[in-house]
Amino acid sequence: DIARIRATIATNPQQGELVEKLLSAACEAMAKATANHAAEWLPAGLEATDGSTTVEGKLCAARITPALRARYDALPTTSTSVERLHAFGRGCDEQAGLQRADTRAGICL
């Protein structure tokens, strides 16, 4: 698809402008969402890339209270089970050269 898009852009500059606008909008949206998610964990006073200063996030270390710790205590701190599942699938792919066992029926099932 990328080769086809690049060929179309090379022959039609208007399509190139449209693709550039779409990619810019998508990247801006992703950057805002990532900044919003990361801001929950950041302390106050950090300077952001846009020149603004961070406000203390609700999950930064300074704001973790015993009540908040108790609320989130049951959650795993990492997604170890998900990482294990993906590693299992990759291992089966490498071993058997077949499709992912964790997403489709393969030799490991």
| pLDDT above 60 for 100 | no
- Same domain for 51 and 27, yes or no, is yes
- Same domain for 43 and 26, yes or no, is yes
- Same domain for 13 and 64, yes or no, is yes
Average pLDDT over residues 80-95: 63
Give residue 35's pLDDT. Answer: 73
Which candidate, 63, 60, 62, 39, places its Cα nearest to that of 49? Answer: 39
| pLDDT above 70 for 79 | no
- Domain housing 101: 76-109
- Same domain for 29 and 41, yes or no, is yes
- Same domain for 40 and 66, yes or no, is yes
Q: Over 48-92, what HEC string results?
A: CCCCCECCCCCCCHHHCCHHHHHHHCCCCCCCHHHHHHHHHHHHH
3-state DSSP assignment of residue 25: helix
Structural contact between residues 20 and 9, judged by C-beta atoms closer than 8 angstroms: no
Q: What is the pTM of this model?
A: 0.39
- Same domain for 9 and 55, yes or no, is yes
Count of domains for the chain: 2
- Same domain for 92 and 63, yes or no, is no
d(C-alpha 20, C-alpha 102), whole Å: 36
Residue type, position 77, single letter: T
Q: What is the pLDDT of residues 57-70, one digit of tens each?
A: 777 777 778 887 78
- Same domain for 55 and 21, yes or no, is yes
| pLDDT above 70 for 15 | yes
- Same domain for 13 and 59, yes or no, is yes
d(C-alpha 64, C-alpha 5), whole Å: 48
